[in-house]
Amino acid sequence: MLLISISAKTRAQSNTQIKFFGQPGLDFSLNDDAKSNSTYFRGGQFVIYVTSQVTERVTVAGELNIHYMAIIPGPSTEIERLYLRYSINDNLAIRIGKTYNPIGYWNLNYNLGLVLQPTISRPLIIQPTHDGGFTQTRDIGVMLEGENIGSARLFFDLFLANGRGKNGGLLGPSYALGKTISTTARVGIEPTEGLKLSVSGVFNPLEKGMLNEFNLPIADKLTYSAFAGSISFFNPEKKLELIAEYYQHTNAYESIGTYNINGGVLYLGMKTNGKLTPYFYGETLKFQNGDPFFPLIDEFTNQAFGDVTSISLGLRYKFTPTIVFKTEAGSSDHKGYGTTLALKTQLAFSF
């Protein structure tokens, strides 16, 4: 009986996996308009990701992110994901807890484990607000998800969650949960291996006076909505890699008016062999000034919000599946701050 008990415990423990992710780097930037240049080492984030197959149908996962933020002394710790997933059958599942918002392709596939991401940084428009972005990348709620349905390999997500609020309505010692329910939906197809086409959107009514992500009271009752159209192609047997996405964020106030943020992302990679991949990355963001939702100066980046256009040429070298080196040379034009030339490197790894 003792041997049977030990054997059962061993099998249960073997279903739990713990992974660690890191991504230090070295950056050099030059901005003649601002008469500034800088060279600095980036420590990156330290991420702990735990998954466990509890039963044949139930899995649980948790993701902890330890990192530094400019406005907070010392390291900051965030629970990025903490959920239970129940598989109804081979095509349908329900997820309950804190998870990534199913808006677009990039946000669902590349977040903190940068050893998997094809570029050094994620697009600005889907950065979380504490990194100068505009998207609530995670939320807490319940999600119905489907995948590999029918000959078109249909996939979808329907996510009911807390919605926007102070610091995105997420859990944490200084966070306040969102006061309204948001609805996020995504639907797409995979007509051929590796090619995915999808559209997704968010609908979230917000009340006047509630605190937003910048700890500002919302000036007027509004409806926040977001739309994303995505095309991606990743096939291990093909050389081409592609991500093309368009985003639109809209704040429609009851009496103040409507304000939009539009953005586009293009990634093109060409694998030369099993290890080296040169790539192009570009993004553009159009910010409509005057929206009272946003502060004049973002305290996280110490810059005003504005239009941004950036392009980069990069090289990615995969030493092993868990150790990847990336380097990028590019320029970024930020309205009001001029053009910044940058050379970036990153060593992303997991263990």
Least confident of 162-176, 240-254, 263-277: 162-176
- Count of beta carbons in the 10 Å neighbourhood of residue 311: 15
Mean pLDDT of the region 45-61: 94
Residue 72 to residues 5, 64, 68, Cα–Cα distance (Å): 48, 18, 7
pLDDT score at 34: 62
Residue 286 to residues 134, 283, 335, Cα–Cα distance (Å): 12, 10, 10
Domain 86-350 has CATH 2.40.160.10: yes
Mean pLDDT of the region 149-166: 91
pLDDT score at 255: 94
Pick from 340, 337, 344, 350: which is nearest to 31 by CA?
340
Query: Domain coordinates of the chain in residue numbers?
Result: 86-350
pLDDT score at 74: 66
Mean pLDDT of the region 302-322: 91
Mean pLDDT of the region 306-318: 95
Q: What is the CA radius of gyration of the chain?
A: 21
Question: Does residue 107 register a pLDDT over 60?
Answer: yes
pTM value?
Answer: 0.89
Contacts of the segment 65-74: beta carbons below 8 A, 24+ positions apart: 65/112, 68/43, 69/130, 69/300, 70/300, 70/301, 70/302, 71/299, 71/300
pLDDT score at 163: 85
pLDDT score at 63: 93
Residue 123 to residues 5, 14, 96, 106, 308, Cα–Cα distance (Å): 49, 36, 27, 8, 11
At 69-97, the pLDDT tens digits run 655 666 778 888 999 999 999 999 999 99
Assigned token pair, 328? 């990028």
What is the DSSP secondary structure assignment for residue 14, as one 8-state letter? H
